[in-house]
Chain A
Amino acid sequence: MTGIDPVICFFIFGIAAGLARADLRLPGAIYEFVSTVLLLAIGLKGGVELARDTGGMPLVELAGVLSIGLLLPLPVFAIARMIGRLSRADSASLAAHYGSVSVGTFAVVMGYLTTRGIPYEARAPVWVVLLEVPAILVGILLARGISKDVAWDKLARELLLGRSIVLLLGGLAIGWVSGPEGTQSIQPFFFGLFKGILSLFLLEMGLIAASHLPTLRRHGLFIAGFGLVMPLLGAGVGILVGLLLGLSTGGTTVLATLAASASYIAAPAAIRTAVPEANPALSLTASLAVTFPFNIIFGIPLYQQLAVSLHG
């Protein structure tokens, strides 16, 4: 072992500083900038690799990945409703958060695999795009039914034009059009600095996660347990689908990590407006203060181990 990844240390540092109430805050504009660079870099990297080999994406893979986003919310909803005894709105909100994905977690698993020289499918950023929105729509459906109160077309439009999807697709397109040679001049910034930018992002995420930890005490054991068990369920589903689709070990790890991750940007914003009676602190605390730290510190190495051993 080569010690803990410094990137993860920045996250732990952020949590510690946040809990100690240290005088440390990154301005909102920095967070916006850093996450923009990460999203573009992830998209570009995928696009450049796709330009190298035009394997494309098999339809069965598209269906497999989409089905995770459409079906994973259902057991999440059932568990929250039956075991957690939460209201329908709160359960649906959790289903949307846990069915959708976290791009921050994706950035960490990308860094993890790259550092270890483990290859994964270049089209992985497309999976992020495929997984972000469906679960949110399913979550709203679970809360509202097929109700006329929901402006579905407006909602879908807003979700599909959300910041992360637009930036990922933009990066993918630019990387694909420009190719490996064309992007050489911007590679030092987007690829060379990737880990540094990721460190800043995780420092901020640590501070944000720490600010949500006190809420955890109010919501009790169920939410803490939920935030730990759900990623394992998601990862199991992700690994299974990865194996069925015949993905590489690295690709299976990425898909497992994506299925294990929970949204903390797109889902909270959409649910807040579409399902106002759901308690936003509940889902955000589980996703941000429990699941995100668990995934990046313990989950990713675990999912990779599992993917390796199940690949046989």
Chain B
Amino acid sequence: MEQYPRRLLTVVTEAVLERDLLGELEALGVRGYTITDARGRGSRGTRQSDWAQDGNIRIEIVCEPALAARVAARLRERYYDHYAMILFMQDVSVLRPEKF
């Protein structure tokens, strides 16, 4: 079975940013993503998911490495200063390259 390399970009950030971020991703050409509610602890304290106001979300995007880099650069420039946000990238393999 043939496998194709792609990048998995994971963003964990404030739920309140969801709408803004999705607009941003679309504009950058991201075709698909998965969002889950998340909670955890970091430099900005504990963030619960049981109340939308305090909640975090995790956005996962599988795409070409170049696009992942563009998204990461854009998010860093626009959100890192004032929002709780981390992002990281991993190499992954997919079976249907045309989807990603």
Contacts and interface: CB of A to CB of B under 8 A. Distances in A.
Interface residues of A, number: 19
Nearest to A214: B45
For the complex, would chain B's binding face be called helix, strand, loop or mixed by DSSP majority?
Answer: mixed
Nearest to A204: B51
Nearest to B20: A273
B14 A27 contact: no
A25 B51 CA distance: 10
A269 interface: yes
A28 B52 contact: yes
Interface in B43-74: 45, 48-55
A28 B50 contact: yes
A31 B51 contact: yes
Nearest to B14: A272
B37 A264 contact: no
Nearest to A215: B45
Interface size class of B (residues with CB under 8 A): 10 to 19
Contacts, number: 36
B83 A268 contact: no
Contacts of B20: 273
Interface in A17-53: 25-28, 31-32
B17 interface: yes
A237 interface: no
Contacts of B17: 272-273
B47 to A, nearest CB: 11
B41 interface: no
Given A28-B37, A28-B55, A273 B50 contact: no
A273 B49 CA distance: 19
Given A264-B53, A268-B53, A276 B16 contact: no
Contact of B50 (A27, A158, A277): A27
B98 to A, nearest CB: 34
B16 A272 contact: yes
Interface of A: 25-28, 31-32, 158, 208, 211, 264-265, 268-269, 272-273, 276-277, 281, 284
